[in-house]
Homo-oligomer: A and B are copies of this chain.
């Protein structure tokens, strides 16, 4: 995303000089994520990251131009992974997706991803790449689930996918947020229960006259 080795084979450089230490990227990103998790944004220090990764500051600054960039990529590379889902039914897909999301947002890396997403959204001048990555990774998922559901006739055709996406992602995010605000620690079972309720709601609604089964 920032370091040259990612933008492959474009420049005139062909391996002149000492190559960049292969493991360095990973060590630094891991250290960054760990520091961020332990001390938060205000206590996130480049010196500490370098020290923890057993790496000089120059090695860090050769790869990322500044603190924001490092943190953003640390989160992008490890805080945006989401397994694909395909169970055969709409309810199954959505329940699986919601569970995955809840687990993701409750995990340190996932939560870090959330924070950086909001920071990025608040400072649009820097790093629009991250925004695109988020949209790419997460936007597709619900879209595909809905397409398959419509093909199977399980879903109202005309319903805007965006609203569904927002509700599910938003609910999972808020759930993770409130866990932290209230000092709760939700178990895996709690998350699954919450996921089922959420899916029940978006599938069949909460109004009494829509409760069919």
Contacts and interface: CB of A to CB of B under 8 A. Distances in A.
Nearest to A40: B123
Contacts of A212: 209-210, 212
A122 B118 contact: no
A31 B128 CA distance: 27
Interface of A, secondary structure class, is: helix
Interface residues of A, number: 65
A212 B212 CA distance: 9
Contacts of A83: none
Contacts of A8: none
Interface in A175-213: 175, 177-178, 180-183, 194, 197-198, 201-213
Interface stretch (A19-27, A46-54, A74-82, A149-157): A149-157
Given A155-B208, A203-B205, A40 B169 contact: no
A88 interface: no
Stoichiometry, as copies per complex, reads: 4
Nearest to A170: B170
A115 B198 CA distance: 25
Contact of A114 (B118, B163, B197, B202): B118
Contacts of A115: 118-119, 122
Given A163-B197, A169-B170, A207-B156, A123 B42 contact: yes
Contacts of A155: 206-208
A118 to B, nearest CB: 5
B202 A202 contact: yes
Nearest to A91: B207
Contacts of A197: 159-160, 163
Nearest to A176: B121
A68 to B, nearest CB: 7
Contacts of A29: none
A55 interface: no
Given A135-B182, A206-B156, A211-B156, A174 B166 contact: yes
A78 B81 CA distance: 36
